[in-house]
A = this chain, B = another copy of it.
């Protein structure tokens, strides 16, 4: 198999995520979708990508349950691509990517937009990792444990 290696069977959740949205375009398509883009041509205009790979990506995202096709919304006979809950769940990933660029990009002056909260218009806080009890965690404060085998009818 000389195919581009698939991570779908990998046990690491990061690899599994990358299998669904680790290519060059998927996250940008999702970004547009989060901003309300729904139509094929609209994606194509905003992203400036080739139509064939847009079609391929949309199909892949639909297959992965990130987008779904809806019959219409403005009455036209065409279909739309809308995010599923799983798709909307990628939002923190996009925010993390954005914040990483904002913090570490070599040419931050080229960054055109900042993410603010709608109510106050102020930048959102950096994502932070917290323990279950709320303590702020650094990478070094964390470790990996094997996933516990899920008991049927476990406590609670």
The number of times this chain is found in the oligomer is 2
> Per a CB cutoff under 8 Å, which of B94, B113, B135, B141 touches A146?
B113
A23-B24, A144-B114 in contact; A129/B92 too (CB < 8 A)?
Answer: yes
Q: How many interface residues does chain A have, given as a range?
A: 35 or more
Determine if A24 and B27 form an interchain contact, defined as CB atoms under 8 angstroms apart. no
The residues of B that contact A7 with a CB separation of less than 8 Å are 24
Contacting chain B: which of A8-16, A37-45, A54-62, A73-81?
A8-16
- A78 CB, min distance to chain B CBs, angstroms: 25
Assembly CA distance A88 to B139 (angstroms): 8
Contacts of A13 in B (CB 8 A): 97-98, 101-102, 105, 111, 113
Q: A116-B144, A147-B113 are in contact. Are A97 and B14 (CB under 8 A)?
A: yes
Find out whether the CB atom of B137 lies under 8 angstroms from the CB atom of A121: no
Determine if B24 and A4 form an interchain contact, defined as CB atoms under 8 angstroms apart: yes
Bound together, the chains give a CA A148 to CA B102 distance in angstroms of: 13
Interface residues of A (CB under 8 A from B): 4-5, 7, 9, 11-18, 22-24, 27-28, 31, 34-35, 49, 65, 85-86, 88-106, 109-135, 137, 139-148, 150
